[in-house]
Amino acid sequence: MHIDLSGRTAIITGSSQGIGLAIAVGLAQAGARTVLTGRDEERLAQARQRLVDEAPAAEAIAVRCDLGTEEGAGELRTEVPEADILVNNLGIFAPADPLEITDEQWRAYFDTNVLTAVRLIRAYLPGMRQRGWGRIQNIASDSALVIPAEMIHYGMSKTALLAVSRGYAKAAAGTGVTVNSVIAGPTHTPGVEDFVYDLVGRDRSWDEAQREFMRLHRPQSLLGRLIEPAEIAHLVVYLSSEQASATTGGAVRVDGGYVDSIVP
């Protein structure tokens, strides 16, 4: 399948590393003008350099802003007034005792993982509808469906993203704009290797370690290994394409079979 996103502008939030950066690279390789966002200027510069290295022909810009605030969203909108593709990847997560999660933490997770996406959809969807073409994707998680006991606040926020996606897909109905969620499964991101080695020991190769980790701690996975960020990016690139014009309002899984369900 040949995917050509030439002439399209794509914004990817939380894209200075990990899944977000992999998505940005994938969209750039498909020809999109790619907008990286993040709060750390040095990380953004490094991310942009990696993107240019892997997609030399692509146009890429980096916008330093805090998208967890209205001011940050306004700064992004000033730098990039219109977009054809919006990938809401920005999110925070950390374990917490369920009975010790404070009101402030609940609000922080909702504000960062949900309201940030809503705010940017409000900003960019009208232009997409007017032009008759657009792609919006909210990066959710298996935790949206399999709520982790140690991260209820995180799971809540990802479940909310599924509702946001379905609702805005209805708001975009019949306009040529699609809105979907991407349910990502256990993924190999920065910091995960140390986490895995801490659990299974460091006296083995990475391939052996991650498979042991999956066997002991993520046995639901049918893949038997962690998902690479580029594998999630492949699905996002497809959903951003002309070929995905009939896929909207969905919660599309790239979870390695982790969620034990025929449908989301």
Q: How far apart are CA 44 and CA 50, in angstroms?
A: 10
**Per-position pLDDT tens, the chain of length 264:** 899 999 999 999 999 999 999 999 999 999 999 999 999 999 999 999 999 999 999 999 999 999 999 999 999 999 999 999 999 999 998 889 999 999 999 999 999 999 999 999 999 999 999 999 999 999 999 999 999 998 999 999 999 999 999 999 999 999 999 999 999 999 998 778 888 898 899 999 999 999 999 999 889 999 999 999 999 999 999 999 999 999 999 999 999 999 998 887
What dotted CATH number matches 9-187+227-254? Answer: 3.40.50.720
Residue 111: per-residue pLDDT: 96
Q: What is the pTM of this model?
A: 0.95
- Predicted pLDDT of residue 226: 95
CB 72 within 8 A of CB 66: yes
Edge-to-edge order in the sheet of strand 9-12: 60-64, 33-38, 9-12, 85-88, 134-141, 177-184, 251-254
So what's the pLDDT on residue 94?
87
Which pairs count as long-range contacts for 211-215, CB under 8 Å and 24+ apart, including other chains? Answer: 214/186
Domain ranges of the chain: 9-187+227-254
Q: What are the catalytic residues?
A: 154
CA dist., res. 140 & res. 125, Å (int): 19
pLDDT for res 207:
92
